[in-house]
Amino acid sequence: MKIDNSLPLEYSTGQNQINILGFWIFLGAEIMLFGTLFAAYFTLVNRTGSGPSGADIFEIAPVLIETFVLLTSSFTIGLAIHAMRLGKKKAMLAFFGITLLLGLGFLSVEIFEFNHFYHVGAGLQTSAFTAILLTTLGTHGAHVTFGLFWGLSIVLQVRKRGLTPETANKSFIFSLYWHFLDVVWIFIFSFIYMKGLM
């Protein structure tokens, strides 16, 4: 394995560079996936049948909390990668931990929100609108849930093996994933919640 020391650890081998490029290509596919969900959402948003509309069930408080928590977690994972590049393992793990806790906070609020939707009569089978709403939000939430377990396993690996080209590469790729989830949330926040509340 040829290690190029002029580059940050996560890019230091040919394998690492290809891993990162490969992950960007995966994120490209994810952009298209969420594109189809948004296309379906915009088509079905007014097909509420006898069920509630977005303006009836959306509440600003949980949305504000979710947005702020996810934006902050995107910032802290960026700081984690910055600390990793400085070789500060402890600071990196601390930022990683904060990120995962914020992710857990986001998920808790989202589960609370889904529960609220269910109780005001907006279940998955109520109307075309609620079905696509919960599918879109749920796909994003499922990504966050997966990210929590993925991030946790990376924290454990870094603690055990230290910062090596492999663990640094995995951490960097996780940070790309986490930032991407934040990007998706920005679009959900703008074109599902804000548009629905307008």
Partner 1 sequence: MSELFPFKQVMGFVFSLILTAVALMVYFLDMPFTTGMTVLLITAFIQAALQLVVFMHAGETGDRGSIYTNLYYAIFIALATVFGTLLTMIWGYI
Question: How far from the centroid of its chain's Cα atoms is residue 162's Cα?
Answer: 25
With contacts defined by CB under 8 A, name the span among 108-116, 117-125, 159-167, 177-185 that binds partner 1: 177-185
Q: What distance in Å separates the CA atoms of residue 89 and residue 140, rounded to the nearest whole number?
A: 30
The answer to whether 104 and 148 are in contact (CB under 8 A) is yes
User: Of 68 and 149, which CB lies nearer to partner 1 in the complex structure?
Assistant: 68
Which residue intervals of the chain are DSSP H helices? Answer: 14-44, 54-57, 60-85, 89-119, 128-161, 165-188, 195-197
Tokens of 198: 């307008």
Instruction: Assess 89 for contact with partner 1 (CB under 8 A).
Output: no
CB of 184 to partner 1, least distance (A): 9
User: Of 60 and 120, which CB lies nearer to partner 1 in the complex structure?
Assistant: 60
**Which residue in the set 2, 32, 125, 160 belongs to the binding site for partner 1 (CB under 8 A)?**
32
Buried b (16+ CB within 10 A) or exposed e, 159-193: eeeebebbbbbbbbbbbebbbbbbebbeebbeebb
With contacts defined by CB under 8 A, name the span among 28-36, 122-130, 140-148, 151-159 that binds partner 1: 28-36
User: Of 148 and 176, which CB lies nearer to partner 1 in the complex structure?
Assistant: 176
User: Of 118 and 150, which CB lies nearer to partner 1 in the complex structure?
Assistant: 150
With contacts defined by CB under 8 A, name the span among 16-24, 120-128, 149-157, 160-168 that binds partner 1: 16-24
Question: How far from the centroid of its chain's Cα atoms is residue 125's Cα?
Answer: 26
- Residue 114: how many other CB atoms lie within 10 Å: 17
User: Of 118 and 191, which CB lies nearer to partner 1 in the complex structure?
Assistant: 191
Instruction: Assess 109 for contact with partner 1 (CB under 8 A).
Output: no
Tokens of 8: 């940050």
**Which residue in the set 11, 114, 118, 150 belongs to the binding site for partner 1 (CB under 8 A)?**
11
Q: Which residues contact 164 (CB under 8 A, 6 or more apart)?
A: 9
Number of residues that bind partner 1 (CB under 8 A): 51
Site for partner 1, residues 36 to 75, rule: CB under 8 A: 36, 38-40, 42-43, 60, 64, 67-68, 71-72, 74-75
